[in-house]
Structure 1
Amino acid sequence: MTKASFIHQPDPDNPGWMTWELSDPTRFNSLLGRMMVRLEPDGQARVRMFPQHVHSNLSNNLHGGTILAFIDVALFAGSRLFGLIEAGTAVTLDLSVQFIGAGRVGEPMDAVVEVLRETGRLLFLRGLVVQGDHKVAGFSGTIRKPTSKPDAE
């Protein structure tokens, strides 16, 4: 029996939220820290991270790379919440981000993700990154869904 790629279970400290954590803490996503996900009543997915000092730049705001990485992870977390992919070998084909305002350390940051269209192989998504009422970034991206068997190398 293979180990699941993600730990995705109810968060005991946050009713209505699920954990979103790699089962292997030595992989990239773990650099973002603790994350949670939930489906919103309007059908959008909300992915939350908790920015810390390690995610900041020299201006004491969130580093743009942190925000970009968070958005990329949120595309996949949202797609899984929608039941459109399983965790695994899907890939980002494109990601467009418009930075709107500085992200703040020490305040939960959410990516609110919605599906624009699904085809046989692709998912087209968009969303906003927010901290409360403060908009941090807008984004759109395309994911290629995994094949039934891994690509030959």
Structure 2
Amino acid sequence: MEYDLAKDGWGLDPDDGFVGHVGGLWRRTFDGETTFAFVAQEMHTNRNGLVHGGMLMTFIDRAFGQTARLATGAVRSATVNLNHQFLAPVRIGDLVEITPQLVKATSRLVFMAGTACVAGDPVLTAQGVWRVTHTAD
């Protein structure tokens, strides 16, 4: 299954840190909401030939963390807590998408939730808390 994400308005958000090792993530903003995605590749598999849960958790962690920073104008964020519930397997070639939802923001904490989907079908749901920093110090 091939995707031409750039043609559909997505931008690749590469990373020279850990997320770069899993290929980076795609991001698109429409009507004020930012959606994140990745295309499941062979490098994301577990021993069963499906996408490893760690890849899905990394995807959620990055999408929620970026959303926490974007929504609050924070310079940095750090994961305080992140819970995942796996609902269905993800197969190689699947496009996994999530539009994180900000549940509540205080001056220091941001509460997030969301459901990752493949072709509109939920594959994972998650909730988390991020500590945000508004200065570069």
Q: Same fold (TM over 0.5)?
A: yes
Shorter-chain TM-score bucket reads 0.7 to 0.9
Deviations 1:33-88 (A, max 9, x none): 142112343x5421011111111111111111111111101112323443x245x5
Work out which structure has the larger RCO, using CA pairs closer than 8 Å and 6 or more positions apart in sequence: 2
- Cα root mean square deviation, aligned: 2.2
CA contact (8 A) 2:80 2:129 kept: yes
For structure 2, the residue ranges without an aligned partner over 5 or more in a row are none
* Matched residue, 1:3: none
The residue type equivalent to 1:73 in the other structure is: R
For structure 1, the residue ranges without an aligned partner over 5 or more in a row are 1-10
Paired positions, count = 134
Deviations 1:2-33 (A, max 9, x none): xxxxxxxxx993343233222x2xx1011221
Give 3-state SS (helix, strand or coil) of 2:7's partner.
coil
Counting only pairs closer than 5 Å after superposition, residues 32-71 of structure 1 correspond to structure 2 as 32-41=22-31, 43-71=32-60
CA contact (8 A) 1:39 1:81 kept: no
Deviation at 1:134, TM superposition (A): 2.2
Q: TM-score, normalised by structure 1?
A: 0.77
Change in Cα spacing, 1:104 to 1:12, as seen in structure 2 (3 Å) is closer
Give 3-state SS (helix, strand or coil) of 2:113's partner.
strand
Q: TM-score, normalised by structure 2?
A: 0.85
Distance 1:117 1:92 in 2: 15
The residue type equivalent to 2:26 in the other structure is: M
**Which of residues 55, 64, 68 in structure 2 aligns to 1:79?**
68
More helix by share: 2
More strand by share: 2
Give 3-state SS (helix, strand or coil) of 1:60's partner.
coil
Change in Cα spacing, 1:19 to 1:145, as seen in structure 2 (3 Å) is same
Distance 1:104 1:134 in 2: 13
